[in-house]
Amino acid sequence: MATSYSDLHASGDAHPEPEAILAGDVVCTGPNPYPLWRVIAVDGEKAWLRNTQTHADGVTDVRRCRKVDA
């Protein structure tokens, strides 16, 4: 049976909680899948990231990070 939007909304799963970002995860920080960043550490709402190609480091809000399969 197909699931409709109203079914999802009624069950509370219309906007599932994003998966927690942890050290070692590979993430991107925008709508595009690149560049890829490896999470070095997470402290509260901030994540220390390292670019997987250039090895440049950066710090950003955890809420900007989206896990990717790499």
Q: Is residue 53 assigned to a domain?
A: yes
Q: What is the pLDDT of residue 19?
A: 83
Q: Is residue 50 assigned to a domain?
A: yes
3-state secondary structure of 42: strand
Q: What is the pLDDT of residue 13?
A: 53
List the one residue out of 16, 38, 17 whose CA is nearest residue 27: 38
Given a cut of 60, is residue 25 above it in pLDDT? Answer: yes
Write the pLDDT tens digit of every residue in 45-67.
Answer: 999 999 999 999 999 999 999 99
Residue type, 32: N
Q: Is residue 48 assigned to a domain?
A: yes
Give me the sign of the Cα torsion angle 20, 22, 26, 27: positive
Q: What is the pLDDT of residue 69?
A: 82
Q: Are 34 and 28 in contact (CB under 8 A)?
A: yes
pTM: 0.73
Q: Is residue 7 assigned to a domain?
A: no
Banded model confidence at residue 70, pLDDT cuts 50, 70, 90: low
Domain that holds residue 46: 20-67
Number of domains in the chain: 1
Q: Are 39 and 23 in contact (CB under 8 A)?
A: yes
